[in-house]
Amino acid sequence: MEISTLATYHCLAFVWYFFIVYSTTQVKAEEPPSEVFLYGGQWKYLTVLNLVLQAVFYGVSFLADVLRLIKKLRCAKRVISSRDLLFSVLAFPVSTFVSISFWTLYTYNRELVYPKSLDGVIPLWLNHAMHTAVFPFALLEILALPHRYPAKKKGLILLGFVAFLYISWVLWIYSVTGKWVYPLFALFSPFGLAAFFAGSLAIIISCYNFGEFLNRMIWGESKFS
């Protein structure tokens, strides 16, 4: 894909995610359902954090494209390195995990992850923008250009560290409020919750490996932008 086309695509994707993040901050209810907007606000939900992550990623990608267009290749090389690390370790696996886990739990019992009371607060289009569209966007990014993946050990350590930070945030919120971020967590014993977190980590690692596999299958081992 031409650099100018990539720049246009990444700019539009950045604007889209910026708009979605802004839209989530405008969601309000006179009587917040299930105390959904109390301590931590929307920033306790992985879905919303992922939207911010995607906006940052596409912003970095757009910057890399612009630097290449104006022939600032030395600066572009550093930004591209950051772009690829951000995409491989976080942007692709997290967006894939968010989409798969949300719709799996929603299909099983939506009240455990997205109570019906939210339908009157969050528009249907915004729900799909947050939980559905993120996956096709991630796939399109892999199709658009190759990304250099880090050494497997480094990538998984970074991904695991970020997962640990989010789990710590969830546990901190529970310690302060006595309420779980997601109603699903209240169903587990401490051992069951630990097993659930471990299973979720295994799934997101699988998402990482899936992204690496697709990148290699489409672009081979040696072609990088």
The pLDDT tens digits for 133-162 are 999 999 999 999 999 999 999 999 999 999
Q: Provide CB contacts within 8 A for 36, sequence distance 6+.
A: 115, 118, 121
Query: How confident is residue 222, by pLDDT bands cut at 50, 70 and 90?
Result: low
pTM of the predicted model as reported, rounded to 2 decimal places: 0.91
Residue spans per domain, the chain: 3-25+38-219
CA dist 118 and 115 (Å) reads 6
pLDDT: is 35 or 67 the higher one? Answer: 67
How much is the average pLDDT of 113-134?
Answer: 92
Query: Where does the pLDDT of residue 74 fall: very low under 50, low under 70, confident under 90, or very high at 90 and above?
Result: confident
Confidence of residue 217 (pLDDT cuts 50, 70, 90): very high
